[in-house]
Amino acid sequence: MRVADAIVEILKREGTDTLFCFPTTSIIENAVAGGIRPVICRQERVGVHMADGYARVTNGKPPGVFAMQYGPGAENAFAGIASAYSDSSPVLFLPLAQARDQSQIFPTFRSNVSYASVTKQVEEIRMPGSVPAVMRRAFNALKNGRMGPAMVEVPRDLVDTDIGTDVLNYTPIKPTISAPNPSDVDDAARRLLAAAAPAILAGQGVLYAEASAELVALAELLQAPVMTTVDGKSAFPENHPLALGSGGNTFNGPGQMYFYSKTDLIFAIGTGLNNHPLTTPPLPKGVPIVHATNDTRDLHKTNETEIALLGDARLTLKDLIVAVKERLAGKLLNRNPAVELATERAAWEARWHAKLNSAETPMTPYRVMHEFMRVVDPAGAIVTHDSGSPRDQLLPFYKATTPRGYLGWGKSHQLGTGLGLAIGAKVAAPDKFCVNFMGDAAFGMVGLDFETAVRAGIPILTIVLNNNTMAIEIPHMKLSHDVHNARDLGGNYADLAKTLGGWSERVSDPGDVGNAILRAKRATEEGHACLLEFMTSAETAFSHRGGRADH
């Protein structure tokens, strides 16, 4: 058995059925010979995002896998891998490397050195017989503790080298999880019951632990409203009376009101509490924190923590439910925040009614998003945003009702990430309606990979909000725009999508938005990769925190 055959055999034993990739690497041929489907991207960064989207939807069971050539291929993938690292996505990267007798010579690009800062585990295969051990260590990193990418670099002079039969002894890695200290759990239960208005902040650790049912049970038991981080959006059903939506750069009305005006204790679970305003809500000053995580690096990182719980999110929630029930001894808590939240939600939605239902032309992107939510059942969809305005406009309003029904991201926020995520999500969940909302600038970064969805038979829907400018840069590029029109972009993206072989429409009438989305949905069900280009205004209103909720 050759090195490349051994790698493929291990991938298969770990459950891999799809290899996202770009030539040249002989692992592609070996994977196909072994029964693994290749999805060839147009550029490496997007291919990494595809593997990332796949890994999120499968919760890393199995992880996403991306393979590329040495040198330019590995170099061009860096941004995607940095994004996976920042969002803790379990993706295995298999870059080909220069031959070992050349890899140390300046200025050779060495993935195992250059990627050390953006991977959880990185290792180069140095000897043929070490393949099983190197791959075992990589999958251990992918499956245990905080999720994150791992890399195995394969020197090109080794891929066809005989390894013997030792690889046949490889056994797939089983995740190892642990529960927090029982006394810490009891302290947390006591503190949560003593608070007058506790709130829960849930991150994507809840999703990876598949603990949404336990999160709902604890929230209802405590009558504690739940906000999610952007990465954790969909961990708690947002049509639930206790839902505060997601918090980051924008918030919905109930989230702003309760989290910043009512909360006297925050129970944070499955989140690192990273001080990153695009994906994690800034915590209200002076409010004590009970923090549950499976990564010791998260504890006391950016905030003082009153009680720390170290363990798997699902086991932590289960133990907390038991501890709270024991302390309640059959009694019910005398609090019902859902009534106040419903009142605030109605008031906030009323303030935004005009934007969401506007008949103005060019149409506001809020009309597009509102019509999408009106005609599409979120339980049957997986939706993601892109960087900038589409993210900040969609997050407060879209109600994700099932785990992984929304893919939130953004700490390392390259334009165009959402396209690859949607393609990978569709591969992982072919029965779901997979949709990415992106601006025209984002499409300009990665749009040719729409052809990957066409060619590979991956029927996603891409929604391009085309305002022919970078609206979010209006306050930052006044002189350059006045003198050189530096903000403006252009193009007919529906025509481009059609040229690339997809189904597409360009829509200018706000009254036709809902019907256009339904037409596109039917086309995806018939197997077509689709693109809808909506001609929108340079909208700059957001549901930010502070002042009025709608500005």
What is the total residue count of the chain?
A: 551
Q: Check whether 101 has a pLDDT greater than 80.
A: no
| Mutual angle of helices 365-375 and 337-356, in 10-degree steps | 120
For position 278, what pLDDT does the model report? 87
Report the distance separating Cα 451 and Cα 464, nearest Å: 15
What are the tens digits of pLDDT across the range 182-210?
999 999 999 999 999 999 999 999 999 99
Q: Computed over its alpha carbons, how large is the radius of gyration of the chain? A: 24
Tell me whether residue 17 is exposed, middle or buried, using C-beta atoms within 10 angstroms of its C-beta: 0 to 12, 13 to 18, 19 or more. middle
Mean pLDDT throughout 287-309?
95
For position 548, what pLDDT does the model report? 42
Which of 261, 255, 253 has its CA nearest to residue 233?
255
State the pLDDT confidence band at 266, using cuts at 50, 70 and 90.
Answer: very high
For position 416, what pLDDT does the model report? 95
For every residue of 107-141, DSSP letters joined together read: T---HHHHTGGG-SEEEE--SGGGHHHHHHHHHHH
Residues 6+ apart with CB under 8 A from 105: none
Report the distance separating Cα 391 and Cα 438, nearest Å: 8
E strand or H helix at 350 = helix 337-356
Report the distance separating Cα 298 and Cα 32, nearest Å: 40
As a whole-number percent, the residues of the chain with pLDDT over 90 amount to 85
User: 228 has which bridge partners?
Assistant: 202, 246
Report the distance separating Cα 62 and Cα 150, nearest Å: 13
The CA-atom distances, in angstroms, between 80 and each of 86, 375, 385, 419, 468 are: 10, 32, 16, 12, 26
For every residue of 414-477, DSSP letters joined together read: -TTHHHHHHHHHHHH-TTSEEEEEEEHHHHHHHGGGHHHHHHTT---EEEEEE-SB-GGGTTT-
Tell me whether residue 2 is exposed, middle or buried, using C-beta atoms within 10 angstroms of its C-beta: 0 to 12, 13 to 18, 19 or more. middle
As a whole-number percent, the residues of the chain with pLDDT over 70 amount to 99
Question: How much is the pTM?
Answer: 0.96
Number of alpha carbons in the 13 Å side-chain half-sphere of residue 335: 21
Mean pLDDT rounded to a whole number for the chain: 94
For every residue of 163-232, DSSP letters joined together read: --SGGGG--PPPP---PPPHHHHHHHHHHHHH-SSEEEEE-HHHHHTT-HHHHHHHHHHHT--EEEESTT
For position 549, what pLDDT does the model report? 41
Cα angle 91, 92, 97; round to 5: 140
Strand order in the sheet with 64-68: 37-40, 18-21, 64-68, 91-97, 150-155, 121-124
Q: Which residue has the higher pLDDT, 545 or 244?
A: 244
Cα angle 111, 445, 22; round to 5: 40
Which of 302, 259, 249 has its CA nearest to residue 280?
249
The CA-atom distances, in angstroms, between 20 and each of 31, 147, 443 are: 11, 19, 20
For position 546, what pLDDT does the model report? 57
3-state secondary structure of 265: strand
State the pLDDT confidence band at 551, using cuts at 50, 70 and 90.
Answer: very low
What are the tens digits of pLDDT across the range 440-494?
999 999 999 999 999 999 999 999 999 988 877 888 888 898 899 888 888 999 9
User: 469 has which bridge partners?
Assistant: 488
- Domains annotated on the chain, with CATH: 3-166 (3.40.50.970), 182-340 (3.40.50.1220), 357-535 (3.40.50.970)
Whether the CB-CB separation of 260 and 227 falls below 8 Å is answered with no
3-state secondary structure of 24: coil
What are the tens digits of pLDDT across the range 311-330?
999 999 999 999 999 999 99
SS3 of 466-524: the string is ECCECHHHCCCCHHHHHHHCCCECCCCHHHHHHHCCCEEEEECCHHHHHHHHHHHHHHH
> Distance of alpha carbon 391 from its chain centroid, rounded?
12
Report the distance separating Cα 519 and Cα 532, nearest Å: 10
State the pLDDT confidence band at 412, using cuts at 50, 70 and 90.
Answer: confident
Residues 6+ apart with CB under 8 A from 143: 60, 63, 90, 173, 174, 175
Residues 6+ apart with CB under 8 A from 285: none
Q: Check whether 165 has a pLDDT greater than 90.
A: no
Which of 291, 314, 287 has its CA nearest to residue 188?
291
Query: Which tokens sit at 214?
Result: 């336990």
